[in-house]
């Protein structure tokens, strides 16, 4: 399947990380989400009910990401992926990328983060 719905560059402030100041002060994260799903019905019907709303996708992802403080962005990305697959049964798979542009790394870098791909089983 090559159909997808995506949200790129979702900015969310959260308190994730292993350093004490990350937990206390928090920082900005950037999230990209791509849902793999069949969009043939929505393309033919032109009805929102036959697809996944961007707004609903953002709400589910943001809630999963901020619901608790994670030490690892891997865990935070996994929480988003699990919540999205649970909330949107039409989705066959979801790819979540969490960028941590202010990671406490002693280097000059453009970006760091993780990507997780989860497929629906069965």
- The set of catalytic residues is 100
Contacts of 5 (CB under 8 A, 6+ apart): 34, 35, 37, 39, 51, 52, 54, 57
* Residues paired with residue 94 on neighbouring β-strands, in sequence order: 35, 118
Measure the CA–CA gap between 104 and 109, rounded to whole angstroms: 11
């Amino acid at each position: 399947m090559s159909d997808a719905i995506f949200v790129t560059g979702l900015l969310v402030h959260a308190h994730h990380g292993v350093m004490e100041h990350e937990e206390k002060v928090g920082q900005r994260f950037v999230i990209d989400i791509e849902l793999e799903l069949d969009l043939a019905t929505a393309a033919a019907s032109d009805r929102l009910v036959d697809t996944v709303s961007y707004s609903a996708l953002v709400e589910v992802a943001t809630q999963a990401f901020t619901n608790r403080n994670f030490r690892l962005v891997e865990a935070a990305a996994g929480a988003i992926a699990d919540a999205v697959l649970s909330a949107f049964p039409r989705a066959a798979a979801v790819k979540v990328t969490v960028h941590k542009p202010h990671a406490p790394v002693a280097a000059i870098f453009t970006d760091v983060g993780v990507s997780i791909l989860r497929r629906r089983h069965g």
